[in-house]
Amino acid sequence: MLIKICGLSTIETLAAAIDAGATHVGLVHFEPSPRHVSLEDAARLRAQVPQGVKAVLLLVNANVETTGRAIDLVKPDVVQFHGKETPEWIAAVGTRAGVETWKALGVRSADTLANAARFEGAVDRLLFDAPPPEKATALPGGNGVGFDWSLLKHHAHRLPWGLAGGLNPANVADAIAATGAPLVDASSGLESAPGIKDVDLIRAFCKAAREA
């Protein structure tokens, strides 16, 4: 079972995620997010990630300069694109930087899954997430809401994929059972306040996901 804990911003919570068995740890570089970390802080956190655990750098509609600088400084194993990035752009970044690439997609309907096929050959993994609430201040992810998991139940996946959106220790086992997700990704469901990870929730989530 692959487990990603996203939006980590302190050494303590990073260590808790790794100790609890997370296979991927996520660092968010997107200023509007309460989980935002500077590239310098992201690099310091990334340096604490041991071999065998993958560091994921999350970017949202970053320009060429920001993307290049972020990859050079942080040296992530994976870059997760969480905006309106095109397959061509992601493929170019992955090839040029030599990193694994993921694309997050907000699942509104079965049409989203059908349209996901355009990323085949361009990304290494798709991350099916809840779509952002329809309000101007909504973040592209990390809103603590889920989507209709039944949409994924019989979908013929053509790419490696993962499940995100409103996951927490109480529902992750049900999510895995309902979707067959090979990877689960949690962020806001593991917080005591926006951007503040709770180490006990991190441990409980990892335990529930592994046991599922």
Of 160, 47, 143, residue with least CA distance to 103: 160
Residue ranges making up the domain that contains 116: 2-211
Instruction: Give the residue-averaged pLDDT of 32-48.
Output: 97
Q: Is 129 a residue of the active site? A: yes
Give the per-residue pLDDT at 165.
Answer: 94
Task: Determine which one of 6, 72, 77, 174 is catalytic.
Answer: 6
First to last CA, the chain: 9
Cβ(134)–Cβ(156) below 8 Å: no
- Using DSSP's 3-state secondary structure scheme, residue 98 falls into coil
Mean pLDDT confidence for 160-166? 96
pLDDT at 20 > cutoff 60: yes
Share of the chain above pLDDT 70, in %: 94
The residue annotated as part of the active site, out of 72, 111, 129, 206, is 129
Closest alpha carbon to 197 in 187, 208, 185, 209? 187
Q: For the beta carbon of residue 24, count every other beta carbon within 10 angstroms.
A: 22
| pLDDT tens, position by position, 64-101 | 999 999 999 999 999 999 999 999 999 999 999 999 99
pLDDT (average), residues 174-197? 97
* Domains identified in the chain, total number: 1
201 pLDDT above the threshold of 60: yes
Provide the CATH number for the domain around residue 86.
3.20.20.70
Task: Mark whether 6 is an active-site residue.
Answer: yes
